[in-house]
Structure 1
């Protein structure tokens, strides 16, 4: 994390007149950060940046993606009592939020891997300003980041199609795309999937289809000899509860906004030893 980014978060948390932390006597103390529940870790480097900024000595045996149990110590800390208090909430917020995303992603990847080789990906449904960190947490859980921004891939969604139609939108995208950019087109029916597959797109995203509809669409594309030339992505209303059914459909990518917006923060805590 850049210092400019970090200082914005610190300014938000400390405010203009931090009395609560400066009430305590300035002295050298030790502390630990530990888990209160089982989780997959993410945000280790972010927390390290926070501790470094406040001149705290921090060590950890863990890396992003490591799985830990309740009671495990994540960080051993030493340094100024005032600085420790100032770093406490910020570091715990990042670790708890990002580890929650990594934990949910890991569970989803485990479910899918039991039935297929499909990738589990997140989406652009991220907190503004937090996208790179939240996608990093998805990676820590074994998931795919999907596109980081609109510049990474040309995705033609329902509103593009309403304005231009499939053929015109795809044709214009192919004219203007760099050779490094793929074209991903959202469809809502089997007929639309067959149409865009024949127009030479790279990825077809089956949007808001039931598992049964997805399975029939994949099978139809195979029978038409079109499946081997295109990646099939499925997205929309996919949760950990119905994930198994989508994993059995034969798609290549399962995109889940819920990896981020439905992830529960992990319960972590800092404890002083004085």
Structure 2
């Protein structure tokens, strides 16, 4: 379970209400008891509900119910219900709603890709890239993991991925450098991005653990897989990671072609999932 840092909650509130909620304060009903309910308007995978719940607790609300991140939620089902003073609930309302709608879009799109891929091969891995907007990566990681994917690269500091752009600065197109990485970073998987079958053949000799196939056609993925299947039993075989333009519509095709890993940024462009919000004066206890 991810910890929700107080600094994140403070930042979310400070962005929207650095001096509180002027409208609610001016209307004068902020001290009244209230209840806020969030309900799915469309089917979706719940994501970042724990952050939304923590946000309400942070302003003094009492969480009556919170569906866990990763749960498939049909339309009309409740995701979150909170009670507290009206000023507290109005303060966190829109930030919590917008966060869960955005996160639900990421998680739902990720879920669709994972389901499509695993219908062909149950052990295939869907890995989402670090293409979240700056400052949003932590929330994006929560969301894609709620959808069933893993993190491709959380950042530059812990993974080794040699791009063609790196190799432009190295002799022999980086082949010797990649071999050296296997020795100098023995506890790390060495990933090399290639853009053609010919490049992939070259880097087979370097001992790379994973070949990331950038925008390969299905035919080229299949061609490379067929070649690897014919290697001698004692020869190391890298994993094939299909990357670039992988989404729900073609995920299964890339798995059939021979990819063991699907690397995708598709969820980051997903449409948010609508959530209906109802706020009313408090007249009874939590009813979920």
TM > 0.5: yes
Give the alignment's Cα RMSD to 1 decimal. Answer: 1.7
Q: Distance in 1 between matches of 2:42 and 2:126?
A: 24
Q: Distance in 1 between matches of 2:238 and 2:9?
A: 41
Superposed, 1:178-257 pairs within 5 Å as 179-225=186-232, 229-257=237-265
Q: 2:108 aligns with which of 85, 103, 110?
A: 103
Q: Give secondary structure in 1 for the equivalent of 2:8.
A: helix
Q: Give secondary structure in 1 for the equivalent of 2:150.
A: coil
Aligned partners of 1:121 and 1:143 also within 8 Å: yes
Q: Distance in 2 between matches of 1:97 and 1:207?
A: 27
* Aligned twin of 2:117: 112
Q: 2:266 aligns with which of 240, 243, 258?
A: 258
Shift of 1:173: 2.4
Q: 2:96 aligns with which of 82, 91, 98?
A: 91
How many correspondences in the alignment?
A: 272
Runs of 4+ in 1 over 4 A off after TM superposition: none
Deviations 1:5-62 (A, max 9, x none): 2212211101346312313412111121111111011102111210111110013252
Tell whether 2:160 aligns with 1:157: no
Shift of 1:71: 1.0
TM-score, reference length from structure 2: 0.89
Aligned partners of 1:35 and 1:73 also within 8 Å: yes
Shift of 1:68: 0.9
Aligned partners of 1:32 and 1:73 also within 8 Å: yes
Q: 2:38 aligns with which of 33, 37, 47?
A: 33
Aligned partners of 1:156 and 1:169 also within 8 Å: no
Q: Give secondary structure in 2 for the equivalent of 1:237.
A: coil
Aligned partners of 2:215 and 2:245 also within 8 Å: yes
Q: Distance in 1 between matches of 2:84 and 2:20?
A: 22
Aligned partners of 1:21 and 1:82 also within 8 Å: yes
Q: Give secondary structure in 2 for the equivalent of 1:229.
A: coil
Q: Distance in 1 between matches of 2:274 and 2:9?
A: 22
Higher deviation after alignment, 211-220 or 189-198? 189-198
Q: 1:127 aligns with which of 120, 126, 133?
A: 133
Q: Give secondary structure in 1 for the equivalent of 2:75.
A: coil
Shift of 1:175: 4.1
Q: Distance in 2 between matches of 1:231 and 1:256?
A: 16
TM-score, reference length from structure 1: 0.93
Tell whether 2:74 aligns with 1:69: yes
* Aligned twin of 1:22: 25
Deviations 1:104-145 (A, max 9, x none): 111111111111232111001111111122112111111111
Q: Distance in 2 between matches of 1:249 and 1:79?
A: 54
Aligned partners of 2:48 and 2:100 also within 8 Å: yes
Tell whether 2:34 aligns with 1:2: no
